[in-house]
Amino acid sequence: MKNLIDIMELSTEEIDGLIKTALDIIENPDKYAESCKRKKLATLFFEPSTRTRLSFEAAMYELGGNVIGFSEANSSSASKGESVADTVKVVGCYADIIAMRHPKEGAPLVATRTAGVPVINAGDGGHNHPTQTLADLLTIYREKGGFNNLTIGLCGDLKFGRTVHSLISAMSRYEGIKFVLISPDELKVPRYIITDVLEKKNIPYEEVSSLEKAMPDLDILYMTRVQKERFFNEADYLRLKDSYILTPEKLSNAKKDLSILHPLPRVNEISVAIDSDPRACYFKQVLNGKYMRMALILKLLEVNV
């Protein structure tokens, strides 16, 4: 049985396979409409979510399956003190596959030990978010035609932003990748990612604080929200929350074929005036996320269409 806890559990060939399936789903949705008939997905969300949870649910419905679950820890037995291990052991008796979001790093990994059915990490604390990365990868593939020779700017909260951590790992496997890590000093990428991923694989990277200066080199600009819920004190959050706001003026020296991504939700990081710019890809990214989750569910349930 396979789970998806960390994006690196998927080989690049498996990622290519998921992309191929997602593209086929986009072309031939009817072919997949009953492929998960009588199967149940459980969405166990111990932390708020709009896109990820609804995207998993929409994905399962579009495969002809059903969905059970909860959307906040308060409405589950976690509020009575039940452990994650017990909750998933119970849910594994009802569902064929589990998508789980949890504020604690490592909770979905713990869940794999007792669930008895495949577990998908739908975001664990400030750690990883592999299915957002699948959405990001399909978006990059559709915009750029592949993954090689790209300069990728990641901007904002690179410390707590779990989507950033998973995306850096995933992109580090392709040729000719360069990262520009744009953040305030306090919100830099965690050291373990620099040493275990970037330096270990000799991938060129720069840590900078100016978005404007970085802009002309970028093929992809991945904006992120400052992760309010992971701050220890509000004053720090208030000081840092508007560190970067992408406006049309700041795009004046950007490449004509730049792709602007954001995992959403957006707070202030991207002015709404950018939404109509053809380089804005963040709403396409939402849709791509649903297709990649459909492909992932099929793979983990070993359904051949």
Q: Which residues are known catalytic residues?
A: 51-52, 80, 101, 129
Q: State whether residue 259 is helix, strand or coil.
A: strand
From 40, 129, 159, 241, residue interacting with ligand NCD (rule: CB under 6 A): 129
166 is an interface residue for ligand NCD by CB under 6 A: no
9/177 Cα distance (integer angstroms): 20
15/138 Cα distance (integer angstroms): 9
Using the minimum distance from each CB to ligand NCD, give the nearer residue, 86 or 234: 234
104/153 Cα distance (integer angstroms): 27
Stretch touching ligand NCD by CB under 6 A, among 241-249, 259-267, 271-279, 291-299: 259-267
Place of tokens 């396409």: 284
Stretch touching ligand NCD by CB under 6 A, among 19-27, 208-216, 236-244, 262-270: 262-270
Using the minimum distance from each CB to ligand NCD, give the nearer residue, 114 or 271: 271
From 60, 198, 260, 264, residue interacting with ligand NCD (rule: CB under 6 A): 264
β-pairing verdict for 220-223 and 66-70: unpaired
Place of tokens 């950033």: 164
Using the minimum distance from each CB to ligand NCD, give the nearer residue, 128 or 172: 128
117/111 Cα distance (integer angstroms): 10
Using the minimum distance from each CB to ligand NCD, give the nearer residue, 52 or 172: 52
**What is the smallest separation between the CB atom of 240 and ligand NCD, expressed in angstroms?**
14
130 is an interface residue for ligand NCD by CB under 6 A: no
111/86 Cα distance (integer angstroms): 9
CA distances from 106 to 103, 120, 122 (A): 9, 12, 11
241 is an interface residue for ligand NCD by CB under 6 A: no
- Give the residues lining the site for ligand NCD (CB under 6 A): 51-52, 123, 129, 132, 162-163, 225, 263-265
